[in-house]
Amino acid sequence: MGESDRVKVGIIGASGYGGVQLVRLLIDHPQVELVYIGGDSSAGKAYADLYPHLGHRVEMTVEKINLDVVGDRCDVVFLGLPNGLACEMVPTLIEKGCKVLDLSADYRFENLDTYTNWYKKERRDRDLAATAVYGLPELYRDSIREANLIGCPGCYCTASLLSVAPLLKQGLIVPETVVIDGKSGTSGGGRQAKTNLLLAEADSSLTAYGVAGHRHTPEIEQVCSDLAGHDVMVQFTPHLIPMVRGILATSYATLRDPGLVRDDLLTIYNAFYRSSPFVNVLPNGVYPQTKWAVGTNLCYIGVEVDVRTDRVIVMSAIDNLIKGQSGQAVQCLNILMGWEETLGLPQLAFYP
């Protein structure tokens, strides 16, 4: 494919950690041409000044956000903005004929009243929001193929949902018993200065936050309810762990059939994800480590059964910035454009 035939792609909000992952992935993607990088506080700066390690590959300047320019120049637009900003831009971008992949929470909710309640943002784009597709390919691949607007899920939701999806879809667990314990590296908090992310604060420490009220909870519950076919509530608790990248989610639930053993569930998980190239179900007795997923778009899943308590324990590990954010958005782009789903996405980590 010649350069003139490539899909023209733009990024609004490229200065953060999610944005720089997108830039890194897209400059090596064989089917796209990165033609626009837009930002607010970073407008006018050379991208190499923000990320010098990319200076030999990215000779672009961050442009002031101008939706007319974006609409004229781009076929596809990625939005890597804080929650509440994308919904002010997307209606114009869609009207101009762009396909949009939003990495914030603005288009992840079927019920915007839920979004408004948790994110405290009134919306004027309800009809458009109703057309958005939840961008978790392993569950909504067919809908993504036909979408113009995709709300890409975040890292905690991705790791959590991939761990429990087969159990809920097959009716193997008592839904109200689902407990999810998530642990994330500090990069999940973004690039802006925050006291709790300082090395002196985070190093040699492990802490829970958003207990009984984290705003990813209703997003997880929305998809769990869709999978189960009825309303589901889960207990979700996130933790900050002193490492830069990665998420490990450990999910617990009571089995409906106490006769199920680990081998049964591994068979079910392997069948459920047989067409999902980025999900790696581990063999008996092998449990995932975040290091295996760092720098890749993979999700590693380990399954165990506690016959004493009749509970299933599922562990999932991802890179929070790749499969949990930007890589997943590129995966959605590949599906949307009819390309090979794995195109341009890393599938093997460097180790250790």
List, for residues 142-201, the tens digit of each pLDDT value.
Answer: 999 999 999 999 999 999 999 999 999 999 999 999 999 999 999 988 877 788 888 888
Q: What is the pLDDT of residue 66?
A: 97
Per residue in 200-256, pLDDT (tens digit) is 888 999 999 999 999 999 999 999 999 999 999 999 999 999 999 999 999 999 999
Active-site positions read 155
Fold topology of 155-320: Dihydrodipicolinate Reductase; domain 2 (3.30.360)
- Structure token pair of residue 200: 């002196």
What is the DSSP code string of 270-333? HHHTTT-TTEEE--TT----HHHHTTSS-EEEEEEEETTTTEEEEEEEE-TTIIIIIHHHHHHH
* From-to residues of CATH 3.30.360.10 in the chain: 155-320
Query: Residue 3: pLDDT above 70?
Result: no
Q: Round to whole Å and give the CA distance between 269 and 264.
A: 9
Angle, alpha carbons 259-138-337 (nearest 5°): 165
Q: What is the pLDDT of residue 41?
A: 87
Per residue in 131-140, pLDDT (tens digit) is 999 999 999 9
Query: Residue 129: pLDDT above 80?
Result: yes
Superfamily of domain 3-131: NAD(P)-binding Rossmann-like Domain (3.40.50.720)
Q: Round to whole Å and give the CA distance between 20 and 300.
A: 24
Q: What is the pLDDT of residue 5?
A: 86
Q: Write down the pTM of the prediction.
A: 0.96
Per residue in 269-278, pLDDT (tens digit) is 999 999 999 9
- Structure token pair of residue 182: 């998530």
Query: Residue 127: pLDDT above 90?
Result: yes
* From-to residues of CATH 3.40.50.720 in the chain: 3-131
Is residue 180 within 8 Å of 250, Cβ to Cβ?
yes
pLDDT-based confidence at residue 4 (cuts at 50, 70, 90): low
Give the whole-number percent of the chain exceeding pLDDT 70: 99
Per residue in 291-346, pLDDT (tens digit) is 999 999 999 999 999 999 999 999 999 999 999 999 999 999 999 999 999 999 99
Query: Residue 1: pLDDT above 70?
Result: no
Q: Quick one: CA torsion of 135, 151, 298, 288, rounded to 10 degrees?
A: -100
